[in-house]
């Protein structure tokens, strides 16, 4: 039996299955026998303890996991949710039930919003489970212990579970839920851990089943024969070898620079250590999200200077503020929208508050002058020629030399022959491009199987941009998480991408696989993928071909 899902990273693992215990169930909806003040005091104590637990786990995990867990710890103190819990307790709910209902409502709101990785319904529900466990005085279900290495199987994993995995024992992970941009996928990729997420049907796996988890093909094989196990073990041994930190290139010498996606200057040094040749996406939202007013030009200039200094002599691509959707900022006039992911976000919001955009561009130009960095600046959520021309003209007028856009709205890809020549470069944001093309919110587990950049419709849009880049001699990059998939990296280069940016943990695997193919082979594989009728078939045709390469 074989189950398909979304492969994370590059590699294959073989081992016995061990299932994560089921999470704590929904508390009963019964009236509380205690006084509301006493019941709410229990909630406050539990929330404080859970906040401390998550912060401590983050410090121990370090890196991107620390950022994710700290963001999750803030959910345990969200004022709106705390007020909701207090009101429900006042209405006679038990502490456990009030916590469950308040966080469940919060989770559903977040699932209807945009693309901030911290704003995940699964993360919120994990906070609720942790608080309820504290209130009940019971231990949370934890990663199973084993004397031998195993494949961890779960409905989904909380960030704290994934961040603290014992890599000496966990060979791979398989989850029923999740997408390529879920926290499970992000943290697994950073740990270079074989994973298949969104594996519908994995609930049928029981403890003791021998599994082949093939991230390259996005498959999980139950109780395989000896020949398959031997072949998988051989492949696993090969990809586990250390990767040299050489510049990205194809087997014929064609350079494919490999850059890192980062969210703060502090992430720069670890990215360099993993072989990043520069920054392909610097998300600037960290300067704005906790601010009541827009940060000053001087503050921004200082922080941008920190990043550029860490990448002295290397390219740094900065995306201006991508606010809106789940990142609602009062100083940009954000109000409630029924579908904010399709509302006033990115350049649309900045254009209405041009002073905020001008300040950011001015700060970036100043930081470039201070460091002499190779700075490239791009705008998010650009839909057409008018928006492209507006941003490029404004940025150049403020002293920036290399200006482009992210292509994440399908209309920009369809109009690539008009849009791309106006830019000094373009960068494909495959996460949003996929969700908008397939009308599938990438925060919703119910449609996670649509959130697959291998879908031929997405590949065709990428090709339109790649073709326009070649025709106008405009560099085309990819900064979405699709570039972290080594097989997809080959296809993206074949479709016209000149450079790739990804989570730093994926750089080694992508570098190794690109070195196995020539540009002609990459283009041939991309053509074959384009001809398929499904995401699974497109991925499989590349995976099968690469199995015979090298």
Give the active site residues: 183, 479
Query: Nearest 5 degrees, angle CA 381-CA 384-CA 389?
Result: 95
Q: Write phi, then psi, for 446 (nearest 5 degrees).
A: -65, -20
Query: Would you call 131 helix, strand, or coil by DSSP?
Result: helix
Decide: residue 205, CB within 10 A, 0-12 exposed, 13-18 middle, 19+ buried. Answer: buried
Contact 482, 180 (CB under 8 A): yes
| CA atoms of 50 and 135, how far apart (whole Å) | 11
Decide: residue 330, CB within 10 A, 0-12 exposed, 13-18 middle, 19+ buried. Answer: exposed
| CA atoms of 342 and 528, how far apart (whole Å) | 32
Query: What is the Cα Rg of the chain in Å?
Result: 23
Contact 380, 322 (CB under 8 A): yes
Residues in the chain: 550
> DSSP label at 446?
G
Strands of the sheet with 150-154, listed across from one edge: 2-4, 219-222, 210-214, 12-19, 150-154, 170-175, 194-197, 6-8
The b-or-e profile of 390-415 (16+ CB within 10 A means b, else e) is bbbebbeebebebbbbbbbbbebbeb
Strand 499-502 versus strand 476-478 pairing type: parallel
Q: Tokens in use for 460? A: 């065709």
| Helix H or strand E encompassing 281 | strand 278-283
CA distances to 23, 52, 290, 294 from 74, rounded to whole Å, are: 21, 10, 12, 21
Q: Which residues lie below 8 Å from residue 151, measured CB to CB, with a gap of 6+?
A: 13, 15, 16, 17, 18, 170, 171, 172, 173, 174, 211, 213
Q: Write phi, then psi, for 150 (nearest 5 degrees).
A: -150, 165
Can you list the positions of beta strands (E) in 320-468? Answer: 374-379, 403-407, 425-428
Query: Would you call 478 helix, strand, or coil by DSSP?
Result: strand
Contact 376, 498 (CB under 8 A): no
| CA atoms of 530 and 353, how far apart (whole Å) | 40
Contact 76, 51 (CB under 8 A): yes
CA of residue 524 relative to chain centroid, distance: 28
């Amino acid at each position: 039996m074989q189950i398909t899902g979304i492969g994370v990273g590059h590699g294959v693992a073989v081992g016995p299955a061990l299932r994560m215990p089921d999470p704590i169930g929904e508390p009963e909806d019964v009236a509380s026998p205690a006084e509301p003040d006493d019941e709410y005091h229990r909630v406050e104590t539990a929330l404080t303890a859970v906040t401390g637990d998550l912060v401590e786990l983050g410090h121990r995990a370090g890196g991107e996991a620390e950022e994710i867990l700290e963001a999750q710890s803030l959910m345990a103190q969200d004022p709106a949710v705390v007020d909701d819990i207090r009101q429900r307790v006042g209405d006679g709910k038990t502490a456990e039930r009030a916590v469950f209902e308040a966080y469940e409502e919060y989770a559903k709101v977040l699932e209807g919003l945009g693309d901030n990785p911290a704003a995940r319904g699964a993360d919120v529900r994990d906070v609720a489970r942790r608080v309820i466990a504290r209130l009940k005085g019971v231990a949370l279900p934890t990663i199973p212990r084993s004397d031998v290495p195993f494949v961890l199987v779960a409905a989904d994993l909380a960030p704290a579970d994934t961040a603290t995995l014992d890599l000496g024992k966990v060979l791979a992970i398989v989850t029923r839920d999740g997408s390529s941009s879920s926290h499970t996928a992000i943290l697994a990729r950073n740990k270079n851990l074989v994973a298949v997420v969104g594996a519908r049907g994995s609930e049928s796996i029981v403890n003791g089943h021998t599994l082949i988890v093939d991230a390259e093909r996005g498959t999980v094989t139950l109780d395989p024969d000896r020949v398959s196990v031997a072949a998988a073990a051989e492949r696993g041994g090969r990809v586990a070898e250390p990767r040299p930190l050489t510049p990205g290139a194809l087997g014929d010498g064609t350079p494919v620079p490999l850059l890192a996606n980062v969210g703060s200057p502090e992430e720069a040094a670890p990215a360099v250590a993993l072989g990043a040749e520069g920054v392909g996406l610097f998300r600037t939202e960290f300067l704005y999200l906790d601010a009541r007013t827009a940060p000053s030009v001087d503050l921004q200039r200082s922080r941008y200077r920190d990043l550029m200094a860490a990448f002295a002599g290397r390219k740094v691509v900065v995306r201006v503020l991508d606010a809106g959707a789940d990142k609602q900022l009062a100083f940009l006039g954000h109000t409630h929208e029924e579908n904010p992911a399709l509302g006033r976000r990115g350049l649309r919001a900045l254009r209405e508050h041009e002073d905020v955009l001008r300040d950011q561009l001015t700060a970036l130009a100043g930081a470039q002058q201070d460091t002499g960095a190779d700075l490239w600046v791009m705008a998010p959520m650009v839909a057409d020629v008018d928006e492209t021309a507006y941003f490029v003209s404004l940025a150049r007028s403020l002293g920036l030399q290399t200006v482009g856009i992210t292509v994440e709205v399908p209309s920009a890809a369809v109009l690539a022959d008009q849009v791309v020549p106006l830019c000094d470069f373009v960068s494909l944001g495959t996460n949003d491009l996929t969700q908008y093309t397939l009308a599938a919110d990438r925060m919703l587990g119910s449609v996670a199987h649509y959130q697959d950049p291998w879908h031929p419709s997405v590949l065709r849009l990428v090709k339109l941009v790649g073709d326009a880049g070649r025709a106008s001699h405009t560099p085309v990059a990819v900064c979405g998480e699709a570039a972290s998939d080594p097989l997809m990296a080959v296809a993206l280069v074949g479709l016209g991408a000149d450079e790739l940016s990804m989570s730093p943990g994926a750089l080694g695997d992508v570098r190794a696989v690109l070195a196995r193919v020539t540009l002609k082979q990459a283009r041939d594989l991309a053509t074959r993928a384009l001809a398929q009728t499904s995401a699974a078939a497109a991925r499989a045709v590349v995976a099968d071909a690469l199995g015979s390469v090298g």
